[in-house]
Amino acid sequence: MEQEGGIPRDSISNRVKKWISERILNGTYPPGHRLVELQIAHELKTSQGPVREALRELEASGLVESEPFKGTRVRQVSAREMQEAYQVRAFIEQHAAELAAFALRDNTSRLQSEIVAAHEAAEKGDIETFSRHNAVFHRQIVEASGNSILLRFWDALQFEIRSQVILSQEKFSPLEGEKLHQAIIDAFRNGNGKLAGRLLRKHLLGFADTIDSTHEASWVHAGRKSSTG
């Protein structure tokens, strides 16, 4: 049985949550934007309760922040925090790679197919699709580590990071990254988790270094480019 309009089969608060995060991630609601419970409730033809619940969950995941009696706003992630996030991601993945070495040995076809898909998207200039496949590639490694807590943290970071896309046009050189990705896959195929880990770490820390305070205003929100810089 299918629903008609919006997002199907889910509690209202969940639908609200998706609706809001979509708008945050695609830049409709920019950092600092105020989210008024009753206003959103009215817009979505529901009541305050589910909206409030959705906002609280988004707060837990770091996408918005709220103060008692003052309300909720889309969170502004500082350049510093962004760097920290990438540093943490770097060593999460390094560690995951070492743990995943056994599981991925001679078992890299799924990794490979993500890289292929990412490559195709990159050639078409489709950043959105490229990013998705790229993310899946990295996530698969953490998944293969077999440590669910590691994966939970990785997901949390990824979600938080997504709100501030890091691919400013100048830095977007997927071709270079591609060689590295291939090297990582090769390392896994040979069962060399240590090497794969080192490569991943280097890759991500390099990314972190490209984030500086001058970027803060010139980040690209998924979809549209903001030429605030």
Partner DNA sequence: CGAATATCGATTATCGATAATTTATTATTT
Partner DNA sequence: AAATAATAAATTATCGATAATCGATATTCG
Residues engaged in binding DNA (CB under 7 A) = 11-13, 34-39, 46-50, 52-53, 66, 68-72
Q: Does 178 bind a second copy (CB under 8 A)?
A: no
Q: Does 159 bind a second copy (CB under 8 A)?
A: no
Element (H, E) at 152: helix 148-162
Q: How far is the CB of 11 from a second copy (least distance, A)?
A: 6
Q: How far is the CB of 189 from DNA (least distance, A)?
A: 45
Long-range contacts of 10-16 (CB under 8 A, 24+ apart): 11/50, 12/46, 12/50, 13/49, 13/50, 13/51, 13/53, 13/54, 13/57, 14/54, 15/44, 16/40, 16/44, 16/46, 16/50, 16/51, 16/53, 16/54
Give 103: exposed, middle or buried? Use CB within 10 Å, 0-12, 13-18, 19+.
middle
Q: Does 121 bind a second copy (CB under 8 A)?
A: no
Q: Which stretch binds a second copy (CB under 8 A): 24-32, 52-60, 168-176, 178-186?
A: 52-60
Q: Name the residue nearer to a second copy (CB basis): 82 or 185.
A: 82
* Interface with a second copy (CB under 8 A), residue from 3, 47, 148, 213: 148
Q: Is the Cα torsion angle 76, 78, 79, 82 positive or negative in sign? A: negative
* Interface with a second copy (CB under 8 A), residue from 56, 105, 189, 198: 56
Find which of a second copy, DNA, none residue 1 binds, CB within 5 to 8 Å per kind: none
Q: Which stretch binds a second copy (CB under 8 A): 36-44, 84-92, 177-185, 221-229?
A: 84-92
Tokens 């195709």 -> residue: 120
Q: Does 149 bind a second copy (CB under 8 A)?
A: yes
Q: Does 208 bind a second copy (CB under 8 A)?
A: no
Q: How far is the CB of 13 from a second copy (least distance, A)?
A: 9
